């Protein structure tokens, strides 16, 4: 809540002064643009050592598969080894976690396709999201919904299975 006339002093100690430093939009390692993530995502995802040096006011997520950086901000970057879970975008395909909230991995997608011929994972996740049971901002390193990754991973698993049948 803002109280007019009383905010100036409080703001000077609690907010970052504009113009002092600008948060980078591109990853310092691979140079590709990153997506802004909530601070709570970075806090939830970092191991203690990384969390203890967290200082930048905002962070972006680097989704480049071959880049080791996961989060970056002003004068800091956190790598894969500093994150508590394997990062979907940065692990080799085949056995990665895809939906972090409800524990669905590539192996689960493949098993269901083998057994039933179709993937119901997206539908199940959509129902759980609608019931407001997801916690992407604190469970998924990318800080948002996994559905795009689930669809892509299910399609990739389908292509692999079909190729194996030939
Ligand atoms: Zn990068």
pLDDT tens per residue across span 43-88: 999 999 999 999 999 999 999 999 999 999 999 999 999 999 999 9
- 26 CA distance to ligand 1 middle (Å): 8
Token pair belonging to 141: 């390193």
Ligand 1 centroid, distance to 116 Cα (angstroms): 38
**Residue 43 C-alpha to ligand 1 middle, in angstroms?**
19
pLDDT of residue 126: 96
For residue 60, the CA-to-ligand 1 centroid distance in Å is 10
Handedness of CA 68, 71, 73, 77 (dihedral sign): negative
- The CA-CA-CA angle for residues 7, 9, 12, to 5°, reads 100
Q: How far is the CA of 67 from the centre of ligand 1 (A)?
A: 5
Letter string b/e over residues 27-36, b meaning 16 or more CB atoms within 10 A of that residue's CB? beebeeebee
Beta-strand ranges (E) seen in 86-162 are 97-99, 104-105
Find the 102 Cα to ligand 1 centroid distance in Å: 27
Task: Give the model confidence (pLDDT) of 20-39 as tens digits.
Answer: 689 999 999 999 999 999 99
From the list 105, 152, 155, 99, the residue with the least C-alpha distance to 126 is 99
The residues facing 4 across adjacent strands are none
Q: What is the mean pLDDT of residues 128-149?
A: 96
For residue 13, what pLDDT band results from cuts at 50, 70 and 90? low
pLDDT at residue 8 above 50?
no
Q: Look-up: residue for tokens 């493949």?
A: 110
């Amino acid at each position: 809540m803002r109280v007019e006339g009383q905010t100036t002093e409080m703001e000077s100690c609690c907010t970052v002064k504009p113009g002092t430093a600008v948060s980078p939009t591109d990853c310092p390692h691979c140079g590709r643009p990153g997506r802004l993530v909530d601070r709570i995502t970075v806090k939830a995802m970092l191991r203690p050592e990384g969390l203890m040096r967290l200082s930048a006011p905002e962070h972006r997520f680097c989704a480049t598969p071959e880049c080791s950086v996961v989060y970056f901000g002003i004068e800091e970057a956190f790598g894969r080894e500093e994150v508590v879970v394997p990062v979907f975008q940065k692990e080799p395909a085949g056995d990665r976690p895809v939906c972090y909230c409800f524990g669905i991995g590539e192996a689960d997608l493949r098993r269901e396709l083998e057994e039933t011929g179709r993937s119901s994972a997206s539908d199940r996740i959509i129902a759980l999201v609608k019931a407001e049971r997801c916690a992407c901002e604190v469970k998924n390193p990318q800080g948002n919904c996994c559905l795009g990754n689930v669809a892509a991973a299910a399609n990739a698993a389908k292509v692999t299975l079909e190729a194996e049948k030939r």
